[in-house]
Amino acid sequence: MSPVRRCSRTACARPAVATLTYVYADSTAVLGPLATYAEPHCYDLCAEHSERLTAPRGWEVVRLAVDPAAARHTADDLEALADAVREAARTPPRQEAPRGADPMEVARRGHLRILRSPEP
């Protein structure tokens, strides 16, 4: 699965840069920056489709500022991730979870936690 979310419009394969949500009670469509997580009742749109968006007659469209550069991952993001992994690798191999900690937590390695699988 690709880490880049795609436009929700049919047959559009461009990367999403904005998220569209509706407030039916107020007859309002809200178009803003790409949401952190894909939500089932929201639509992710590419730059072209977000610019051409229209709403039904009688509806208001609220457009929040969308920064297309913010939607792209940079080399700094990758470097920060690599630094975090290196930092975790430098810690002692396995530390037992302290008493009184989360009962699902089995052990820690740096800032990472090992959790027990929930019982079905």
Inter-CA distances, 11 with 1, 6, 49, 53, Å: 17, 10, 12, 16
Please name the residues in contact with 102: beta carbons below 8 A apart, sequence gap of 6 or more. 113, 115
Q: What pLDDT score was predicted for residue 19?
A: 93
Please name the residues in contact with 70: beta carbons below 8 A apart, sequence gap of 6 or more. 33
Which stretches in the chain have pLDDT values below 70? Answer: 1-3, 66-77, 85-103, 108-111, 120
Q: What pLDDT score was predicted for residue 45?
A: 94
- Cα distance between residue 85 and residue 100, in whole Å: 27
Question: Could you tell me where the beta strands, DSSP code E, fall in the chain?
Answer: 18-23, 28-33, 43-45, 60-63, 95-96, 105-109, 112-115
